[in-house]
Copies of this chain bind each other. A is one copy, B any other.
Amino acid sequence: GHFARIDHQRQQRTGFPEVVWGPGKTPEQIAEILARMRPYYPCVMATRISADVFAAVRSRLGGLHYFEVAQICSTAPILPPAYPGQVGLVCAGTADLPVAEEAAITLQLSGFAVERFWDVGVAGIHRLLSVRDRLETMQVLIVVAGMEGALPSVVAGLVSAAVIAVPTSIGYGANLGGLAPLLTMLNSCAPGIGVVNIDNGFGAAMLAAKMLRSLPQRAATGSM
């Protein structure tokens, strides 16, 4: 497809291959790109793939795996973690699950271990405090929240790992499609929080993966 110029050096440059972004692509195009890339990489992923689109892609290309809540399809299954470290995935409410699962599955397909902490929003802070000890053992935390998005501030004040905050578009009224929790996270009074775009579970996973993967091996050759 001359419509897509696949960036084959991307893995070499940035450590990860291109990922197919589903929206605006036909099932034919998605199947073709996956087929063209599969020979070169252990696992190729496409994100934002609804069950209907997946059915149409699968009818054109065999051997695919599908993760429905995460809306991800891939050319390989989840395998045991290939890298050291663990990412804690923290999620405020039930409705934020699709975004949180997009992050979780992306990490697992990329070879990282994750632990899930679902439905621990700040309206019942004891739920978060009760998992604090487990959170302390994570190397990075991804915190997903909609509505007012206060959860990352509280988490970043409780534990020492770096926090990646993902605002979701869950809410109504003055939520403004996720702008309200996005602003909350950017203005957090607890320092050490990196924010990604609204509903961007994939982007959060890539940032966590870069932190976990590049650091230990590079640290050995650190140039101070």
Contact partner of A216 among B13, B194, B216, B221, CB < 8 A? B216
Indicate whether A50 reaches chain B with its CB closer than 8 angstroms. no
Contact with B along A52-72 (1 / 0, CB 8 A): 000000000000000000000
Indicate whether A156 reaches chain B with its CB closer than 8 angstroms. yes
* Complex contact A207–B194 (CB within 8 A): yes
Chain B residues with CB under 8 Å of A162's CB are: 207, 210-211, 214
Interface residues of A in 1-52 (CB under 8 A from B): 2-5, 7, 9-10, 13-16, 19, 21, 23-25, 29
Chain B residues with CB under 8 Å of A80's CB are: 224
Indicate whether A179 reaches chain B with its CB closer than 8 angstroms. yes
Contact with B along A130-167 (1 / 0, CB 8 A): 00000001011000000111100110111111101001
Which of A25, A126, A160, A161 has most chain B Cβ within 10 Å?
A160
* Complex contact A224–B183 (CB within 8 A): no
* Complex contact A86–B223 (CB within 8 A): yes
The number of chain A residues touching the other chain, given as a range, is 35 or more
Indicate whether A212 reaches chain B with its CB closer than 8 angstroms. yes
Contact with B along A104-119 (1 / 0, CB 8 A): 0000000001000011
CA distance A223 to B176 in the complex (A): 39
Contact with B along A73-117 (1 / 0, CB 8 A): 000000011001110000011110100000000000000010000
Complex A-B: 14 CB contacts under 8 Å:
A14-B160, A25-B94, A86-B222, A121-B189, A124-B157, A140-B211, A148-B153, A150-B153, A150-B154, A162-B210, A172-B197, A194-B194, A194-B195, A211-B211
